Structure 1
Amino acid sequence: MSVIYGLLTISILVALVFLIVFIFSVKSGQYDDSYTPSVRMLFDDELVKDDSKKSSTQEQKQD
């Protein structure tokens, strides 16, 4: 029975270490996405053009 208490204590300590490391990495900017915004601006115009094509084809179908 004492082995279970020891394993439980060790597992909680390991979980706390991982939690502290995760919080530290999030606060230090490890997971910040610096690539997507620079690529998103390249594809915004294509999305707008596609929407305008869809609306113009829908208007033609209604006529």
Structure 2
Amino acid sequence: MESLYILIPIALFFVVLAVGIFLWAVRSDQFEDLERKGMDVLLDDKPVQKRQQDDDAG
């Protein structure tokens, strides 16, 4: 029973900390564009490099 006097405040502290971190992430637009970062991995950068080569040649 005595351990609950220690564990409950620690658990409440972690809950408040997690909610605070979540609210910070939402306010700083961390979840604004979820699909773009995933698509960046799939997209190829070769057309951008080709345009730079064309600009240098022309």
TM-score (norm 1): 0.51
Moved over 6 A (4+): none
Structure 2 residue runs without a partner (length 5+):
37-58
- Partners in 1 of 2:13 and 2:29 — Cα distance? 25
1:34 Cα deviation from its structure 2 partner = 6.2
Identity, in percent, stands at 25
**Does residue 1:7 correspond to 2:20, yes or no?**
no
Give the superposed CA RMSD: 1.6
- Partners in 1 of 2:3 and 2:26 — Cα distance? 35
1:35 Cα deviation from its structure 2 partner = 4.1
Residue correspondences, number = 36
Q: Tell which structure's C-alpha radius of gyration is larger.
A: 1
Structure 1 residue runs without a partner (length 5+):
37-63
Structure with higher helix content: 1
